[in-house]
């Protein structure tokens, strides 16, 4: 693995294929830790109850990591329970798809047992979470990369006061359960967990996933009779799919929407939470993707900030010096979800959406997507210009650009190896909070540089907090109270003071204490007032996730030189038409 599970959760990267070979050291450490912990508990406490499922799975994983074969009899011996019980438990985990059976002889009567891809995948995810839990509970000092787990809150006088404790604690059996994306803003919420537990009066369990795994878990949760989560974070492009599938509840059915003060949210961020005119979530983050650039280096070269795509290429050419370890520009070019988002937003910078949305003043109308049907616009002159622009960027990018996504594009920028980088504002703490970074204090922020027929645009990213449609009825009122609390101006200000660089509300961006933290807050407010903040570049169509994956696959082949732009776009158009004509299952 090129990245630990913890880093994957933080970066928001897609999961890719299940890991079935060369498990990483962190997985081995967690398996060993859990094994020793279980043994310590089982032998030190009386009375105690052995967990045969876990004992057998840990035995299986340990043997797999050490290259040893496992038989059914050795699994039974490791279970810690009588033979008959152990065989039943072994049958349970085999039926769950966690164990694979391989014949050792031609007759098939003798076989070995191995962890399935699903088991390895799940334990790879668990490894990162166990490591994070251990650090948060036992670590004595923080490291720079864990900036969002710390940061003391210093209360002060401001327009927005600190959050107030609820007059009555939330009455939720088992506490409040939240499913989120593993990005810095939600990790800030995790850092403030104890403070918010005091505010709402109940325990909070927050589970974080990478972007693709978050969507999968939300869809799995919707298939359950009762939701495991009281609130779930939904990427804005998923709103249409989740509303159409009945994954999330319309806010109008569970609360008085006026309580949220909708007019305080950035217009594009609030509109992006709607489907067919109905709000389905509350913006928890409004984080536009911008162009980061080194103001000091541009000034030294006498260059103007890159407001157009031609200026980006010219500046990238000027600063690109591979032999010196310096590169012109970094961006999301990893295969799949990451590159798919890049292409959609680049098409927008060249003046068109990826489907035939009707034009309106300031852009395109994405408020009535439920009307459909829509035809893709992925093989047009402007889409071709966008694809060719990405090919140009490739020539002035770091050598590992085709595996860069989300955080990877900002790390070399923060370290001074890249002069420009496309990035969401939530990534800015990587250099805004580290005075040792060359980019610290030297970064300028711009809307996406535009093509000849485009205009300045800041594509809206971020997440909305939503109430699952299958949440038990008795939990809904309390979940709504938590939703109001976590998205309030008071809470949003607290997130900003602890490292977040997303503020979905005008009132938060205007707060004097918040504005002193970063220029981003005032700039994003200004972009919203200028109508540059838009959500149509990533329209929340019900099949948008399939389109994103398709774009990220076909365009990656193009960037690798396996297909010419016109060939890749023609194939992309044809397959996208099939996808949009296929109804949701």
In CATH, what number is assigned to the domain containing residue 51? 1.10.10.10
Give me the pLDDT at residue 583, please: 84
Domain match, 421 and 548 both: yes
Domain match, 474 and 418 both: no
Q: Where are the beta strands (DSSP E) in 110-239?
A: 111-115, 176-181, 204-209, 231-235
In a domain, 282, yes or no: yes
Give the CB-side neighbour count of residue 61, counting CA atoms within 13 A: 31
Domain match, 95 and 198 both: no
DSSP assignment string, 439-507: TTT-EEEESBPB-TT---BEE---EEEE-BTTS-GGGHHHHHHHHHHHTSHHHHHHHHHTT-----BHH
Burial of 402 (0-12, 13-18, 19+ CB in 10 A): middle
Domain match, 570 and 511 both: no
Domain match, 377 and 322 both: yes
At a CB cut-off of 8 Å and minimum separation 6, what does 213 contact?
Answer: 14, 15, 125
Give me the pLDDT at residue 16, please: 33
Q: Which of 60, 94, 122 finishes a domain?
A: 122
In a domain, 467, yes or no: yes
Give me the pLDDT at residue 253, please: 97
Beta-carbon neighbour count of residue 326 at 10 Å?
A: 16
Give me the pLDDT at residue 71, please: 86
Domain match, 72 and 112 both: yes
Beta-carbon neighbour count of residue 577 at 10 Å?
A: 14
Domain match, 452 and 559 both: yes
Burial of 165 (0-12, 13-18, 19+ CB in 10 A): exposed
Give me the pLDDT at residue 104, please: 65
Residue pair 207/178 in contact (Cβ under 8 Å)? The answer is yes
Regions in the chain scoring below 70 on pLDDT: 1-27, 65-67, 102, 104-108, 124, 128, 135-136, 138-159
Residue pair 99/114 in contact (Cβ under 8 Å)? The answer is yes
Rg over CA atoms, the chain = 25
Domain match, 279 and 297 both: no
Domain match, 430 and 465 both: no
Q: Dihedral, CA atoms, 212, 218, 223, 226, nearest 10 degrees?
A: 160
Bridge partners for 329 per DSSP: 420
In a domain, 222, yes or no: yes
Give me the pLDDT at residue 168, please: 83
Give me the pLDDT at residue 128, please: 66
Q: Which two tokens stand for residue 165?
A: 């404790």
Q: What share of the chain is helix, strand, coil (3-state, %, to 5)?
A: 50, 15, 40
Assign residue 451 the CATH number of its domain.
3.40.190.10
In a domain, 529, yes or no: yes
Give me the pLDDT at residue 553, please: 96
Q: Which of 122, 155, 184 finishes a domain?
A: 122
Give me the pLDDT at residue 105, please: 64
In a domain, 154, yes or no: no
Beta-carbon neighbour count of residue 433 at 10 Å?
A: 18
Residues written for the chain: 585
Domain containing 437 equals 289-459+543-581
Domain match, 366 and 511 both: no
In a domain, 254, yes or no: yes
> Residue 29 and residue 193: Cα distance in Å, rounded?
27
> Residue 216 and residue 207: Cα distance in Å, rounded?
13
Give me the pLDDT at residue 27, please: 67
Domain count of the fold of the chain: 3
Residue pair 462/145 in contact (Cβ under 8 Å)? The answer is no
Domain match, 567 and 450 both: yes
Q: Say whether 233 sits in a helix, a strand or coil.
A: strand
Domain match, 407 and 549 both: yes
In a domain, 443, yes or no: yes
* C-alpha dist (Å) from residue 353 to 77, 90, 340, 342, 371: 60, 52, 13, 13, 17
In a domain, 142, yes or no: no
| 487 phi/psi in degrees, rounded to 5 | -105, 10
């Amino acid at each position: 693995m090129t990245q630990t599970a913890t880093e994957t959760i933080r970066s928001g990267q897609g999961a890719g294929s299940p890991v079935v070979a060369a498990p990483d050291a962190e997985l081995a450490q967690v398996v060993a830790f859990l094994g020793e912990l279980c043994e310590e508990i089982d032998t030190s406490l009386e009375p105690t109850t052995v967990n045969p499922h876990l004992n057998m799975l840990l035995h299986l994983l340990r043997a797999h990591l050490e290259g040893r074969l496992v038989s059914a009899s050795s699994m039974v011996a490791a279970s810690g329970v009588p033979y008959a019980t152990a065989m039943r438990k072994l049958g349970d985990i085999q039926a769950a798809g966690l164990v694979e059976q391989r014949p050792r002889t031609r007759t098939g009567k003798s076989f070995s047992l191995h962890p399935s891809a699903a088991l390895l995948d799940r334990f790879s995810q668990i490894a990162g979470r166990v490591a994070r839990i251990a650090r948060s509970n036992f670590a004595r000092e923080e490291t720079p990369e864990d900036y969002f787990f710390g940061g003391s809150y210093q209360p002060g006088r401001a327009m927005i006061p600190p959050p107030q404790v609820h007059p009555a604690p939330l009455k939720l059996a088992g506490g409040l359960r939240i499913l989120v994306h593993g990005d810095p803003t939600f990790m800030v919420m995790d850092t403030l967990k104890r403070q918010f537990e005091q505010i709402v009066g109940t325990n909070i369990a927050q589970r974080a996933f990478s972007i693709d795994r978050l969507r999968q878990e939300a869809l799995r949760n919707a298939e359950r009779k009762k939701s495991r989560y009281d609130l779930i974070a939904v990427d804005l492009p998923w709103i249409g799919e989740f509303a159409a599938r009945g994954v999330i509840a319309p806010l109008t059915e569970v609360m008085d929407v006026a309580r949220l003060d909708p007019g305080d949210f950035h217009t594009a961020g609030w509109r992006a939470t709607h489907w067919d005119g109905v709000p389905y979530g509350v913006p928890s983050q409004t984080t536009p993707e911008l162009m980061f650039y080194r103001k000091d280096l541009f000034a030294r070269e006498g260059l103007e900030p890159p407001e157009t795509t031609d200026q980006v290429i010219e500046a990238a050419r000027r600063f690109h010096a591979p032999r010196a370890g310096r590169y012109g520009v970094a961006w999301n070019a990893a295969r799949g979800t990451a590159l798919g988002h890049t292409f959609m937003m680049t098409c927008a910078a060249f003046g068109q959406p990826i489907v035939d949305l009707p034009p309106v003043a300031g852009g395109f109308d994405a408020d009535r997507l439920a009307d459909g049907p829509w035809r893709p616009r992925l093989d047009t002159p402007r889409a071709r210009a966008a694809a060719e622009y990405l090919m140009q960027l490739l020539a002035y990018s770091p050598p590992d650009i085709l595996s860069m996504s989300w955080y990877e594009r900002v790390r070399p920028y923060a370290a001074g190896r890249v002069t420009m980088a496309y990035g969401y504002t939530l990534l800015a703490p990587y250099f805004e909070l580290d005075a040792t970074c060359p980019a610290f204090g030297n970064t300028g922020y711009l809307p996406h540089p535009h093509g000849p027929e485009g205009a300045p645009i800041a594509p809206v990213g971020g997440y909305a907090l939503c109430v699952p449609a299958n949440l038990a009825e008795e939990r809904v009122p309390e979940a709504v109270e938590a939703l109001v609390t976590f998205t309030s101006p008071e809470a949003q200000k607290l997130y900003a003071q602890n490292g977040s660089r997303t503020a979905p509300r005008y009132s938060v961006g205007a707060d004097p204490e918040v504005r002193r933290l970063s220029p981003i807050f005032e700039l994003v407010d200004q972009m919203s007032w200028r109508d540059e903040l838009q959500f149509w570049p990533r329209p929340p169509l019900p099949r948008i996730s399939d389109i994103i994956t398709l774009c990220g696959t076909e365009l990656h082949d193009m960037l690798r030189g396996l297909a010419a732009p016109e060939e890749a776009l023609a194939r992309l158009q044809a397959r996208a038409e099939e996808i949009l004509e296929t109804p949701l299952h």
